[in-house]
Chain A
Amino acid sequence: MTALPQAELLERMRAGEIGALARIISIVENERPGFEPLLRGLYALPARSNAIGFTGPPGAGKSTLINAVIRCLRQRGKTVGIIAVDPSSPITGGAILGDRIRMGEHVKDDGVFARSLGSRGHLGGVSRATRRIVDLLRRSCLDVVIVETVGTGQSEVEIAKIADVKLVVNAPGLGDDIQAIKAGILEIADIMVVNKSDLPAAASTKRHLEMMLMLRAANRDVPVLATSPLRNEGIEALVDTAESLLASRIPLDSASNRADIRNMIAEHVANTARRRLGLDGDPALAAQIDALCDAFAVGELGMNEITARALRLLA
């Protein structure tokens, strides 16, 4: 494909051209030449939809559940975009992206667009580009955007920044002890899902999660829903709950547009700071950072002062 002018690409994406959407994702993911005007053009558009995040341990059945949720959303006349992130090898950078295996029944459906991403060395299960790509899908021609990420430590918190409604998917036997309920996961969940509810241990997993939520998230009302994509049970109720949460959430207006841009910038600032504070070139800056480190180590400067000075150095 030839390179197309950004504006035309965006227009074709908004009109529903799959090839244009796919190409824009690649440009944004790889920060290819021209990605900046593309992002600018993108964020000039209001979002058309919000994102539902599915996170949880490997094998909890996230992809299978998403497949069933897509079926339900399609029956309700909604078009759906899916971003499925799988971990990249920290050593080779390679990844096997296999979430599509479970979603094959929708491949012929023009109302469903799916894209697989590698986490590409980013901490947790979410790639640096994930937020931008989700924002992109929310501005394309799709009614609902779904993001799948493996729940590994960091990523629960990251998904919280990306998705408007967060589902934490659990499965019987995968995490019945307290250790397995990672810190942070109860705090970010808008809906707790006990998937594979056809399995005998599901009822006790559900009780266990309800108790944990009562103890830890007392002032929040987090529904615990049982689902079995295998038996097609609990899917309608899950979609109802997610849709009503979405409706009560972020309105799609210019204020939320600004919030999207602010989040995107915050992430970029954090990444840039991390890179420049790390082992990146500029010996003069490195020496000044070293001095800050030493000042902190001997207790000369506190954390807030160090941060303020580091930010000034980077400015």
Chain B
Amino acid sequence: MQEKPIIRILLAKPGLCTHETGVKLLAAGLRDSGMEVIYTGVFQEKDNIARVALQEDVDVVGLSYLNGGHVALTKGVIGALQEVGRGDIPVIVGGIIPKADIEPLHAIGVAGVYGPGTAIPDIAEDIRRIVREASAAPALAP
């Protein structure tokens, strides 16, 4: 009886960066756009992110980075999601992303890349589109 399904997003910070301000602002912004934001703190390993995504049955996983390693870390998370049988969950990436990394991120299957200065309502809008398209796409066998 839920008229519009509420989008559930897991926000995670892989890697070793401890600055939480950006991801917390994003969490608050997405909440204000009507989403349920699961936040698990800093220092998340790829396997833990995948395990949480599986248990929480999220619609999308958002990764936040401030200092490099985006492509390799993201690739790791996507692989971990596939390993737990949830390679169907779209992954998005935000933070300080060098221009040169955007194309490679898309190439490994990232559904959305949001550099610094992307307004949160625009990110929210794009997430809605991504989730809509993902649920319309023919689902993978579990």
Contact = CB atoms under 8 A, between A and B. Distances in A.
B28 interface: yes
Interface string B123-142: 00000000000000001111
A4 B142 contact: yes
Contacts of B35: 94
Given A89-B31, A93-B6, A94-B34, A114 B48 contact: no
B37 interface: yes
A225 interface: no
Interface string B60-93: 0000000000000000000000001110100000
A70 to B, nearest CB: 14
A66 B88 CA distance: 32
Given A1-B88, A18-B55, A19-B85, A30 B37 contact: no
A87 to B, nearest CB: 11
B118 interface: no
Contacts of B51: 107-108
B55 A97 contact: no
Nearest to A98: B39
B30 to A, nearest CB: 7
Contacts of B5: 30
B36 A2 contact: no
B32 A89 contact: yes
A92 B29 CA distance: 11
B37 A96 contact: yes
Nearest to B7: A94
Given A18-B54, A18-B55, A25-B57, A108 B47 contact: yes
Interface of A is mostly: mixed
A1 B139 contact: yes
B59 to A, nearest CB: 9
A94 B33 contact: yes
Contacts of B1: 31
Nearest to B139: A2
B104 interface: no
A25 B57 CA distance: 9
Among A22, A25, A116, the one with the most B-chain Cβ atoms within 10 Å of its Cβ is A116
A97 B35 CA distance: 10
A23 interface: yes
A71 interface: no
A94 B36 contact: yes
Nearest to A12: B142
Nearest to A29: B2
A89 B30 CA distance: 12
A95 B39 contact: no
Given A2-B139, A94-B31, A96-B31, A118 B36 contact: yes
Given A31-B1, A107-B51, A120-B6, A23 B36 contact: no
A115 interface: yes
A309 interface: no
Interface in A1-40: 1-4, 18-19, 22-23, 25-26, 30-31
Contacts of B139: 1-3
A180 interface: no
Contacts of A25: 57
Interface of B: 1-2, 5-6, 27-28, 30-41, 47-48, 51-52, 54-57, 84-86, 88, 139-142
Given A93-B34, A96-B39, 5 more contacts: A1-B139, A26-B57, A95-B37, A100-B52, A108-B48
Interface of A: 1-4, 18-19, 22-23, 25-26, 30-31, 88-89, 92-98, 100-101, 104, 107-108, 113-116, 118, 120
14 contacts: A4-B142, A19-B142, A22-B56, A25-B57, A30-B5, A88-B36, A89-B32, A94-B34, A96-B37, A97-B36, A98-B38, A98-B39, A104-B40, A116-B38
Closest 5 CB pairs of A and B: A94-B31, A22-B57, A1-B142, A101-B41, A92-B34
